[in-house]
Chain A
C-alpha cells in the first residue's frame, strides 16, 4: 500500500524535471547572435536610465497594503475551512461562533474601507 502522497511527489518531480530541463536546454539549442540592444532592458527606443527598476527599486506602498490585507483575509479563510468541514457536528454553537467571527472581521474590514484602505488609482 502506497502512501497517498507518493503520486503527488512523483508529479512534482516530473514537473520540476521538465521545467528545469526546458530552462537548461534553452540556451543550448537556440542561436546566439550578439547585439548590444538585445541585452538592454526593454524600452521604447530610449536608453534605460542607470536605475531601471521603477523609482530606484522601490515599489508603490499600496502594494504592501494589498499584501498585508491579503494575509489577514487568507488567515480568515484558513480558519473558515476547518469549521466548514465539521460544520454539522458543531451544531448551533458553531454557527454562532463563526457568525461572530465573521462579524468581527467584517467590522475591521469596514474600518479599513473607511480609512481608504481600498482606494486604488
Chain B
C-alpha cells in the first residue's frame, strides 16, 4: 500500500465528490484548450495566425465550436442500427474520461483543509485500469463504424480498430520494463520509484516504443489512417453529427491528454521537479502544489509533440504502418524485455552460480531472436496481376491507358486517306484494345 493510497483512504466523501467533478472539469477544459492550442500552433507552423477572434488570442474558439455543435441537427441515417448508433459515442467517451482518474498529479496537497493527494484513485492495478479503458474505447469506434450502415465509416472503423489493437500491444510491452524496475503496477508507486532517476534515461527503448505507440493508439497524425480524408472521408464518425460527433471529438482529445499524462507518469518522473530545480531548498519544489505544475508542464510538452508531429509528418501508408507495429515495435520490444530481464537478473544475483547454464541458454536464445528478426523477409509472392482492361468490354469505360494521343502530323492538304494509312496504330501495343486512339473511328464498345 503506497503512501498515496493511505492518504486517499481517509478522504471524506465530499472531498471525493469534489475531486471527481474537478477531474472531469479538468479533462473537458484540457480538451477545449488543446484543440485551441493545436489550431494555433499548427497555424503558426503553417505561417498563418490560426483562430484569433473569439476571446483573447482566440482562446474561446473551441468553446464556441462546441456550443455550435450542440445546436446542430442530429442526423441518424435510415440504414443505421438505431440503438448501437446512439450508444457508440457513449462507449467511446466514458472510458476515455475514466482512464485519467489514476494519474498521480501531486502526492500531497491541502485541499479545503483536508490533506490529500491530487489523484482521484490509487489502485495496486492502476496501469491495468488505463489499459482496460483504452481497450473498451475500441468498442466505441468499431460499433460506431458498423452501426452507421455506410461504407466509409465501416472501413474507417475497421482500420481504426486494427490500428489501435496493434499499437496497444507495443504500448503494453513497453510498460513491462518500467514495471520491472518499479516493482508495482500502481501509478503513484511508479512515480515514487523514479525519485533517483527518470525511467526515460534508464529505459530509452521502452520510452521510444511508448511514444510511437501512443501516437498510433490515439489515431493521430502521422498514424491517422482511420480518418484519411482522401480515402475514407471522415473515418468512423462520418455519419455522426451534433453532440454525438462532439463526444467522439472529446474522447479523442481526452485520450491524447491521458496518454501524455501516462508518458509523464511512466517515463518522465511524473510530478517530480526536473533536475536542477529539484535541488533547490532540499526538494521544496517537490512539495505542496508545485508537483501539479511539473506534471502539467510535462503533459503539455507531450501534447505539443502531438501537434508538432501532425504539422511535420505526412501520413503513413496502411501497410507501412502495420509493418512498423508488427514487424518492428513488437519483436524489438520482446527482445528488449528479454535483455532487461537478463541484465537485471544478473545484477541482482551478483554471484552467478548453478543457474549459469540456464542463463547462458536464455542469452543465447535472445541473441538468436535478434538474429532471426534480422533475416530478410521472404519476398512477397506477386501474383500475376490481371491487366486491367484498357477499355471496358462492352461498358462505356474510358480507356485506362492514359496515353496522350500523338500529335497529329501536319496534314498535307493533298490526300486525307494517305496520312491515315501511314501510321495506322502506332501507339497501341495491345492491338485492337487501345484502337480508339487511331484515327479510325471505331464503334463504341466493340473495340
Contact = CB atoms under 8 A, between A and B. Distances in A.
Interface of A: 1-2, 4-8, 10-12, 14-16, 18-20, 22-23, 25-27, 29-33, 38-43, 48, 52-54, 59-60, 63, 66-67, 69-70, 73-74, 77, 80-81, 84-88, 91-96, 98-100, 102-103, 105-106, 109-110, 113-114, 116, 118-121
B158 A7 contact: no
B129 A22 contact: no
Interface in B49-73: 70-73
28 contacts: A4-B8, A7-B101, A10-B16, A15-B24, A15-B93, A15-B94, A19-B90, A19-B93, A23-B244, A29-B71, A30-B73, A31-B71, A31-B72, A31-B73, A38-B75, A40-B78, A41-B239, A74-B172, A84-B175, A85-B185, A87-B341, A91-B349, A92-B349, A92-B358, A96-B362, A98-B338, A99-B363, A103-B362
A58 B337 CA distance: 38
A30 B72 contact: yes
A63 B322 CA distance: 12
Interface residues of B, number: 107
Interface string B356-369: 00110111011011
Chain B binding surface SS class: helix
Interface of B: 5, 8-11, 13, 16-17, 19-21, 23-24, 70-79, 86-87, 89-90, 93-98, 101-102, 120-123, 128-129, 146, 148-155, 158, 161-162, 165-166, 168-169, 172-173, 175-177, 179-180, 183-185, 233, 238-239, 242-244, 246-247, 318-319, 322-323, 326-327, 330-331, 334, 337-338, 341-342, 344-345, 348-349, 355, 358-359, 361-363, 365-366, 368-369, 372-373, 377-378, 380
Nearest to B102: A8
